[in-house]
Amino acid sequence: MARLIAALSGGVDSAVAAARAVDQGHDVTGVHLALSRTPQTHRTGSRGCCSLEDANDARRVADKLGIPFYVWDFSEQFHHEVVQQFLDEYRRGRTPNPCLRCNEKIKFAALCDRAVALGFDAVVTGHYASVTYDEAGRIELRRSVDAAKDQSYVLGVLTSEQLRRCVFPLGGMVKSEVRQEAARRGLRVADKPDSYDICFIPEGDTADYLHDKLGRRPGDIVDEDGTVLGRHDGVFTHTIGQRKGLHLGRPAPDGRPRYVLRLDAANNQVIVASHERLKITGLKGRDPIWCSGSPDVRIGQARPTAQADGQLPCADQPGEDPIAAQGRFAATVQLRAHGDALPAHVDYDANEVVITLDQPAYGIAPGQAAVIYDDAVVVGSVTIDQTW
């Protein structure tokens, strides 16, 4: 039996994850993360995971499971680590993923740290992914069996030390099974809709939110020659690869649509070009995170079958092999939360990762994460700084 914190968002996934941990005989305590000092309610248009109603749903799940329940206030850390960073990145013309950042800095850092300090062994969440350990105690983060719900991409920013404190009981289930199980257990959240929006953005209107926080900074939309084609009211409301909503008035000479190629925050310009120009074949980033131990040691090797049932951390096992100082290996790379896994070659050293794609990709924005896979295993991740 382990002492576990179940992070209860108020949704169906975390509810079933917690229930499964309780069934396994663990001593489970439910915690809802308060991420806003002034939580919204459904009345004020919240559709994320952090409204008062969600906190109440989480509490009711804990009641039903007969486990203690607390709301832990991480609003300050969330504001600094996630919201501020989100705005800073947009200000710099980059495209951040706040959910990934929240996993990295809040759920599996601040929450885990507090849990461990208070005598808990690990944190249970309802993420669709698995953590497994081989016979030598080496850790692997794996994709969910539900390809549509797989969240291994947003967990790819976690270190193996962080993952060793995680339990993901849902990695072997598909969403419909989770809902059925919730209904069977009598959890009222069984048919609660999924949340897709960014939790701190009211009504899910990112552009409006960014205008509200960053103001309006009108500037030119130009082509690569610098010819002014239109106006924008803030580079931050555009994303690389965007085609719609540019209002360019006149068509390109070749009559083909134009896409956002680059955001030049320093000059307050949005640069557009043809689709062909969005093509990239390489990218790089700094400070890689290797989730499943040294990257190339086990690439391509036979791996034990995943047991996606919320395996507990093997704290007394030897753990990961030391990370090689540098290396090169073949892998697949995922560049968006629900993007395809693209075949690629990866070169790395202690500071930097260079990824060479076997086939071109389109519309990849600095600020996004590149998550590297070996089949279903997450090898590691890096935040994209530069593409070519």
Partner 1 sequence: MTSPVGGDARERHITGIPISNFTAYGLRNSYGLRLHRTGDRPQRSRRVLVAVAPSRAARTACGHRGVGSIEDVDDSPSDRMDLVRHYFDHAATTPMRDAALTAWETNARRLGNPSAIHGAGREARSVVEEARETVADAWSIPPSTIIWTSGGTESDNLGIIGVARARRRKNPAATQVMVSPIEHHGVLDAAASLTSEGFTVIQMPLTEAGIVNYPATADLMRVHADTLAVVALMAVNNETGIIQPADRLAEVAHTELGVPFHCDAVQAHGLGPALSLQTCTAAFSAHKIGGPLGAGALVIPPDTPIEAISFGAGQESRLRSGTVPVPLVASFAEAVRETTVTESVENQRIDGLAARLESILTSVGAQIIGQNLARVGAIRYALFPGCSGQDLVVLLDARGIHVSTGSACTAGVPQPSHVLLAMGHSQDEANSGLRFSMGWTTTHDDLDALQAALPEVVAIARRR
Catalytic residues: 102, 199
**Whole-angstrom distance, CA of residue 361 vs CA of residue 50:** 35
Cα(127)–Cα(137) distance, rounded to whole angstroms? Answer: 22
d(CA 53, CA 17): 20
Nearest one of 22, 32, 19 to 58, comparing CA atoms: 32
Write out the two tokens for 296: 């190339």
Interaction residues for partner 1, span 96-125 (CB under 8 A): 114, 117-119
Q: Which two tokens stand for residue 17?
A: 């994850």
Least Å from the CB of residue 107 to partner 1: 17
Quick check: 2 binds partner 1 (CB under 8 A)?
Answer: no
Q: Tell me the window of 59-67, 246-254, 285-293, 310-318 that interacts with partner 1 (CB under 8 A).
A: 59-67
Q: Which is nearer to partner 1, 68 or 215 (CB)?
A: 68
Q: How many residues bind partner 1 (CB under 8 A)?
A: 22
Q: How many CA atoms lie within 13 A of 16 on its CB side?
A: 29
Q: Which of 23, 45, 73, 203 binds partner 1 (CB under 8 A)?
A: 73
Other CB atoms within a 10 A radius of the CB of residue 94 amount to 20
User: Interface residues for partner 1 in 19-58 (CB under 8 A)?
Assistant: 29, 32, 34, 39, 52, 55-56
- DSSP-derived secondary structure for 289-325: B-TTSSTTTSTTS--PPP--S-PPP-TTS--PPPPPS
Q: Work out how close the CB of 37 gets to partner 1 at its nearest, in angstroms, rounded to a whole number.
A: 8
To the nearest whole angstrom, how small is the minimum distance from the Cβ of residue 43 to partner 1? 14
Closest CA to 111 of 122, 95, 97: 122
Q: Could you count the other beta carbons within 10 Å of the beta carbon of residue 305? A: 6
Q: Can you tell me which of 71, 87, 252, 297 binds partner 1, judged by CB under 8 A?
A: 71
Q: In terms of CB distance, is 38 or 227 closer to partner 1?
A: 38
To partner 1, the closest distance from the beta carbon of 185 in angstroms equals: 12
Which residues of this protein are in contact with partner 1, per CB under 8 A? Answer: 29, 32, 34, 39, 52, 55-56, 59, 63-66, 68, 70-73, 75, 114, 117-119
